[in-house]
Structures are given as C-alpha cells and as structure tokens.
Amino acid sequence: MIVYTFCAEVLVKILANGLAPWNYLVGLDWKWNLFDFAIAILSFNEVTTFLFGDTGGSIMVLRLFRLARLFKLFAKVPKLRAIIMGMVAGLRAVVYITLLVFLNFYIFAIGGILFFRSNDPFHFATVPVALLTLFRASTLEDWSDIMYIAYFGCDRFTGGIYFQQSDFDGEPPTPFFSSWDEVPVKFRCTSPSAQPYLSVAFWVIFVTCSAFIMLSLFIGAVTIAMSAELQQAKLREEKRKQKAYLQQRAEEFKRSKAPSRSGRSVRLNSSLDGSQTGEVPSRDSLEHVHMDLKLRGLIFDAWQSSGMLEHPEKLLSESHREQAFVDVTEYRLGAYSRFAAMCRSTAEHQWFSAFITCCILLAGVVVGLSAQFDDTDVDHNPQSDSNLRALGSVLWYSDVAITWVFTVEMVLKILAGDTEPQQYFRSKWNLFDFAIVVCSWIPYFTSTED
C-alpha cells in the first residue's frame, strides 16, 4: 500500500507539469525527484529481481530500498533538506582539503623516512607504510609510542616491536621467534639512534597540523557550505512568498478591471500628463512614473556635468591618448623590452602553467622514490644492485631536468619585469620559489660523489 502511495505521488508530480512532463526530472528539484522516482521503482520486487537476479541478494536490496524510503523525510522538511544539501556542498570543498591533507602526509612521510627509517624500520620502511603510520598518528592513536622510539632509540625503547641480537643469547624473549635468524628485518633493531630534539619537533608539528588544523578545515568547510545553503533556502522561501504576493496582486488587478455596476471599467492610466480620459490612474503607477522620471533626471545631470554631452569627442581622444601612451612605454628598451614581453606571455600562458604543475607532481614522485629505494637499506646482491643503480640514474637525471625547468621558470618571471626585474621578489610565493630553486642546486655543487 505504501509503495503504491509513493508511485501515485510520482505520477501526480509528473502530470502536474502539463505538456512538459520531462520537467519532473530536469526542473529545479530534479535531484530529489530522481531520488523519489528511484525509490518508488526499486521498491517493487519484480524490478530488483530483474536487475539483481532471483537470489537472496535481491531480497536484501529490496529491503534496503524500502528502508531508504525514510530518507524521503529530508525532501519534506525544508530545514532538514537545507542541512543535507549543505553537507553535500561541503563535500565538494572536502575534496580539495583531502588533497591538502594528502600533500601534508606525503611531505612528512618523506621526512620520516629520511630521518627515522634506520632507527624505526617498522613504521618508516616505505612510503605507503609511512603514510599509514602518519594516518594512525593523526587519529592520536599511540602516536607518543612512535615518538619515543625515535626519542630514546629502538634499543632503549622497543615499543614492544624491536629485538636485538643480544636478546637471543639465552632464552628467546618471545615465543614467536626462537632465534635471531627468524626475526624479520622490520623487527630488528640494528642501527639504534636517539634523536630527542628532532623527534619532538617532527611529531609535535605533525600532530598539531594534522589532528587539529586539518580537522578544523573539514569542519569549517562543511559549516560554511551549510550556512550558504541555509541562506539560499531562505532566499528561495522569500522568492516564493514574493511570487505568491505578486500572483495575489495580479488577481486583484484582474478583478479591478472587471465591469462595475455602472458599466464603466477602471483601468490604469499610462499617460504621463495625468489627463482624465475616463480612466483612473492608481497611486502605485504614479509613484513608479515619478521614480522613473527622477532617475532619468539624475542620469542626465551626471552626463551633463561631466561635459560628455557637449564634447563627446573627449571619450575618443582620451582613449587615443591612453593607447599612444601604451605604445610609447610598452617597448621603452627596444628589443629587450620585446623579449621581456615574450617572457611574460610565456610565463603566464595556461599551457606553461599546466606543464609546471606536472613537473611539481613529478618532482614529488621522484623524491618519494629516491627516499624509498635507498640502496643503503637493501640486501646487497648483484641483481638488486644493478637494478638500483639503473633506477638511481633515472631518478638523478629526472631530478636534474626538473631543477632546470624550475630554474627556467624563475628566469622567465624575472625577465618579465622588463626594466623592473626586482618586482619578482616582491611576491612571497616568488621568494619561496627562489629559495627552492637555490636549495635544489646546492647538493649538485657540494656532492663529492663521482
């Protein structure tokens, strides 16, 4: 009975659109209408059996969709509907916040591998493992234990994870491993190192950024979206009331034009002189005419005071003077200024910006691979050594190429300043890029390797 009631509701809404029944699925409320339509159709056992087969799963799906009919309550309560739509709108902003969170995790994962992997291989063996460790720490789940391993070293604070070879000189310390050879590499504390200051700084900054600041961003995005949706719902309600009021006034106006007992009709006078032509002007129409004339007078006075009506050639002459000034000053240093303009157009081109974005992403991948496949922590055998050398060469040349791309980008932006190249350093982001490029070249000039 309830299913047929919902189907009747859908049919009535479709027929209410008259000769345009498709407006039910493309109108203003098409999302909720499509939801109601799907719920009504999938509530029939025949439909679920046809789509999912005659199995027990179809019965489960049928029950699920019957339970989903409770969500129709959202479409019936305007305030609840606005909250749901606000949450959905907030999820769009959450996508970008999630990207920011992943970038934060990735940077700290690379740092954790570089700083702590030799002392804590269980938590920072690879990039995926490091990301999982950081996710655990962002939920405040025993993050202090991970910090203590780096603070005291894996030999003094094992965290219930690490074993040393000396632990197996007598009776095995654990029933899981009878000898040192059975202990996996990730459970071995072979290179203990205490880093108290670095570990505290690393974990305090990460936990503060991830557990508090990023969580606030999620809450703020959803809250702002919900507030905007509630405001839009309020505006829609005001428009609905205004539309109802205008319809009511239109009905009153139609009734006022109906023939009176004396056989005369009362109509609005559209003439501006207010002459009596057998038609009675309303007070509202006279007020609109008065406001229109007043607005036209203000516009006319403004144009007349500026002198544009008496001397319209001023507009043309001023535009010509501005264009002449641009023509004179644009290439004040001749060929160099033209080259600077070319550098500026190149640096600002959308394809060049997209290329730089791809290089930034590639640089992140190269740094991650370089940190993960460090040959100092890999078993030494001829096959693995040759593969690591080949991979290391590819990563090295890729890093050099990316550094050159960033250097060219910086040079183009500096030359784009033409006679004022110092403008590049007035932007904080440009200063950040400059520092990144300079620091990227330092290892190549200070390296002692062949």
- pLDDT confidence of residue 263: 47
Provide mean pLDDT across the span 372-381. 54
- pLDDT confidence of residue 64: 60
pLDDT above 80: residue 404: yes
**How far apart (Å, rounded) are the C-alpha atoms in residues 49 and 41?**
12
- pLDDT confidence of residue 169: 77
pLDDT above 80: residue 12: yes
Residue 116: other Cβ atoms inside 10 A: 24
- pLDDT confidence of residue 258: 61
| Structure tokens belonging to residue 352 | 């060049």
Residue found by looking up tokens 């019965």 in the block: 59
Q: Confirm or reject CATH 1.10.287 for domain 92-227, answering yes or no.
A: yes
Helices and strands per DSSP (H, E), number in the chain: 18, 0
pLDDT above 90: residue 131: yes
Share of the chain above pLDDT 70, in %: 69
| CATH superfamily, domain at 335-446 | Voltage-gated potassium channels. Chain C (1.20.120.350)
Tens of pLDDT, residue by residue over 22-54, are 777 777 667 767 777 777 776 676 666 666 665
> In terms of pLDDT, which residue wins out, 281 or 153?
153
- pLDDT confidence of residue 240: 80
> Widest CA span of the chain, in angstroms?
122
**How far apart (Å, rounded) are the C-alpha atoms in residues 247 and 240?**
11
- pLDDT confidence of residue 384: 58
Residue 412: other Cβ atoms inside 10 A: 19
Which one-letter DSSP state was computed for residue 181? Answer: G
Least confident of 51-55, 251-255, 383-387: 51-55
- pLDDT confidence of residue 367: 85
- pLDDT confidence of residue 220: 81
- pLDDT confidence of residue 270: 43
- pLDDT confidence of residue 328: 46
Cα-Cα-Cα-Cα dihedral sign, residues 443, 199, 117, 369: negative
The confidence band for 110, taking pLDDT boundaries of 50, 70 and 90, is very high
Least confident of 48-62, 103-117, 168-182, 426-440: 48-62
Residue 270: other Cβ atoms inside 10 A: 9
The answer to whether the CB of 119 falls within 8 A of the CB of 112 is no
**Percentages of the chain per state (helix, strand, coil), in multiples of 5:** 75, 0, 25
- pLDDT confidence of residue 15: 82
pLDDT above 60: residue 276: no
**How far apart (Å, rounded) are the C-alpha atoms in residues 54 and 31?**
30
Q: Where are the domains of the chain?
A: 2-76, 92-227, 283-320, 335-446
Q: Which residues contact 265 (CB under 8 A, 6 or more apart)?
A: 257, 258, 259
pLDDT above 70: residue 76: no
The confidence band for 147, taking pLDDT boundaries of 50, 70 and 90, is very high
pLDDT above 50: residue 264: no
Name the pTM for this structure: 0.60
The confidence band for 199, taking pLDDT boundaries of 50, 70 and 90, is very high
Q: What angle do CA 256, 262, 263 make, to 5 degrees?
A: 70
> In terms of pLDDT, which residue wins out, 383 or 248?
248
> In terms of pLDDT, which residue wins out, 98 or 325?
98
- pLDDT confidence of residue 301: 60
- pLDDT confidence of residue 327: 46
